[in-house]
Amino acid sequence: MQKITPCLWFDGQAEEAASFYVSVFKNSRILGLNRYGEGAPLPAGTVLTVRFELDGQAFVALNGTPDFPFSPAISLVVNCASQSEVDDYWQKLSAHQEREQCGWLMDKYGVSWQIVPVALQQMLGSEDPARSQRVMTALMAMKKLDIAALQSAYDGR
């Protein structure tokens, strides 16, 4: 069991959301669920929590109330090896185009994701500050990240 497990609070959609996420990410599965008993804030038998795993990372989805909506202040980062992987996750997860910026998107449940090419960290970590700045400038103008365009900025083209 991992030491720290993110818990995502949903307004009655925990089981649906966990099933959706498991369908998006390879090597993912539902691990189990618990239900509310008598005298709970939701009707007895309603799903309380869903334990699930996304590509080896454990999560808990909780069915709560609408009191605590998601915020972009917390996001889940998906490190991608290729543009096709960026494109695939973007297509499957993005549900609010008006909320997209710099590789950041919001899904249909309000969860924020960063779909990030692994190469971006290398580019931003360049010892040449001019290269890093060109990449940052290019990145700030994007919604979905474009590896070729980032590489062109890095190379000064």
Structural domain range at position 130: 75-155
- Give the Cα separation of 98 and 48 in Å (integer): 32
In which band, very low, low, confident or very high, does the pLDDT at 77 lie, cut at 50, 70 and 90?
A: very high
pLDDT digits (tens, 9 = 90+) for 97-143: 998 999 999 999 999 999 999 999 999 999 999 999 999 999 999 99
Sequence-distant (≥ 6) Cβ neighbours of residue 65 within 8 angstroms = 11, 41, 42
Of 20, 44, 14, 19, nearest in space to 93 by CA: 20
Q: Is residue 1 part of a domain?
A: no
- Give the Cα separation of 132 and 136 in Å (integer): 6
What is the structure's pLDDT at 65?
85
Q: Do 84 and 145 sit in the same domain of this protein?
A: yes
1 pLDDT exceeds 80?
no
Q: Is residue 82 part of a domain?
A: yes
Tokens standing for residue 14: 């925990």
User: How many CB atoms sit inside 10 A of residue 61's CB?
Assistant: 28
What is the structure's pLDDT at 42?
85
The CATH number linked to 39 is 3.30.720.100
Q: Is residue 86 part of a domain?
A: yes
How many domains, in total, are found in the chain?
2
pLDDT > 90 fraction of the chain, expressed in percent and rounded: 92
pTM listed for this prediction: 0.92
What is the structure's pLDDT at 104?
97
Q: Is residue 43 part of a domain?
A: yes
Q: Do 55 and 81 sit in the same domain of this protein?
A: no
